[in-house]
Structure 1
Amino acid sequence: MPLTLFAGEPVLVQVPAALDPSAPIPTAVRAECGLDQLLGNYALDAIGKRGADARPFRAVEPAAPERTLHLTILSVHGHGGGGWSGAKSMSVKADLRKDGQPLGTRVFTRRSRGGPLGGMSGTCAILDRVAGALGRDVAKWVAAQEGTQAVVEPVAAPASEPEVSEPAGQ
């Protein structure tokens, strides 16, 4: 599905994503997994695959004339031990702005299945797949913003979170 919202106009995507200072993220995951960089790159790639002229940014003036997508990691749940230590999840807030004005805000949450049937991947590899799924979710939402004005959705996490499939035997 082509992204017509940004036809002829670049969209700047925050890479790396910001980490909410109060975000509950296990210390080892924060230090070892690089989820802020992964999430930003996955969103940038997914938006580009939808036909947009997507470009990364680190710091933008508050009233940047381009459309800007600000990404903030709100929480990460996941302990060492890969799939054996249970499900992993991440919540992310996406803010789409133009000229400093909000075009839309939404929170996305994804989780892995975890457990012995969740595959043999390590924690960072599982969270990498979660970040990839979140990047695609954000890109789909950005594409859906065409023709909308200041859409701000509730910031509460959804009652049921989509799952990310775990490839067996990895």
Structure 2
Amino acid sequence: MKTILTAGLLAITSTAFAADKVLLELPVTYTADASVVQPVREQCEIEDKLTRHVGTAMAKLNRSGPGTVASAAEAGDASVLKIQISHILGVGGGAWSGPKAVTVYATLTDKDGTQRKTRINRWSVGGFWGGFKGTCSIIERCTVAIGKDLQRWVRDASYVVKDEGPPKEGAPVDGEKAPAEPAASDDKASPSATPPASAVAL
């Protein structure tokens, strides 16, 4: 009897899980009033980074098939996740021009039209080797973190995404251990010494 009940529960769970697939609707876009430095928007291809990392997160959550869909009309019984970029903090110069941040709004719509919404803001200073990374690479770390956030948020309706404040200069983010504290003489250049975004490689 126990075996039959266990098998039945497993079958029900598997069916429910299969019906709970979530697909990222493409394309990822910017909000109409999005705040972003134009060279960063053009060169860093942040929409593509979010598509890749959030789409991969959804595919892992689904356990089979793709993690993206061209339109909600093609999603079938899957729930549809739509994200829009509202703010990008960052200019050229990599870690030397300060922390970078990505803010997105996400809407999850199930097949019955029920919606959940959230806002996610993630920062990065580039991790252990941040001083050697460009602006686009650091921004990509933010998109990876957003993918992980959304993977948890879509599968757990009770999960509240906490807003992430700016890191202290040189502080570790993204769950990494901090490198040794730099000496006072290693302070970064002042903002006034930082060349404009258009003059710095991304």
TM class by shorter chain equals 0.7 to 0.9
Count of residue pairs the alignment pairs up:
156
Which of the two has greater helix per residue?
Answer: 2
**Partner residue of 1:158?**
163
The verdict on how the C-alpha distance between 1:6 and 1:26 changes in structure 2, with shifts beyond 3 A counting, is farther
For residue 125 of structure 1, the aligned residue among 137, 162, 172 is 137
Q: CA deviation at 1:41?
A: 1.6
**Partner residue of 1:60?**
72
For residue 23 of structure 2, the aligned residue among 9, 12, 21 is 12
Report the secondary structure of 2:102's partner residue.
strand
Q: Return structure 1 stretches of 4+ with deviation > 6 angstroms.
A: none
Report the secondary structure of 1:41's partner residue.
helix
Contact 2:25/2:72, CA 8 A, preserved across alignment: no
Distance (Å, rounded) in 1 between the aligned partners of 2:58 and 2:166:
22
**Partner residue of 1:104?**
116
**Partner residue of 1:24?**
35
| TM-score, normalised with respect to structure 2 | 0.65
Q: Which moved more, 1:42-51 or 1:67-76?
A: 42-51
Distance (Å, rounded) in 2 between the aligned partners of 1:37 and 1:124:
12
**More relative contact order in 1 or in 2 (CA 8 Å, sep 6+)?**
1
RMSD: 3.3
| TM-score, normalised with respect to structure 1 | 0.76
1:139 pairs with 2:151: yes
**Partner residue of 1:34?**
45
Amino acid at match of 2:53: Y
- Over the matched positions of the two proteins, sequence identity in percent amounts to 26
Amino acid at match of 2:25: Q
Which of the two has greater strand per residue?
Answer: 1
The verdict on how the C-alpha distance between 1:63 and 1:48 changes in structure 2, with shifts beyond 3 A counting, is closer
Distance (Å, rounded) in 1 between the aligned partners of 2:164 and 2:121:
10
1:46 pairs with 2:51: no
CA offsets, 1:91-122, max 9 Å, x none?
Answer: 111111023623311111100136xx842100
Distance (Å, rounded) in 2 between the aligned partners of 1:7 and 1:36:
28
In the TM superposition, 1:64-75 aligns within 5 A as 65-75=77-87
Tell me which structure has the larger Cα radius of gyration: 2
Give 5+ residue unaligned stretches, structure 2: 1-13, 168-172, 180-202
Q: Which moved more, 1:42-51 or 1:101-110?
A: 42-51
Q: CA deviation at 1:36?
A: 0.8
Contact 1:112/1:166, CA 8 A, preserved across alignment: no
CA offsets, 1:49-76, max 9 Å, x none?
Answer: 2344443123324996531000111110
For residue 89 of structure 1, the aligned residue among 101, 111, 114 is 101
CA offsets, 1:126-163, max 9 Å, x none?
Answer: 11111111111111111113xx7xx9x79xx8363683
Distance (Å, rounded) in 2 between the aligned partners of 1:5 and 1:89:
39
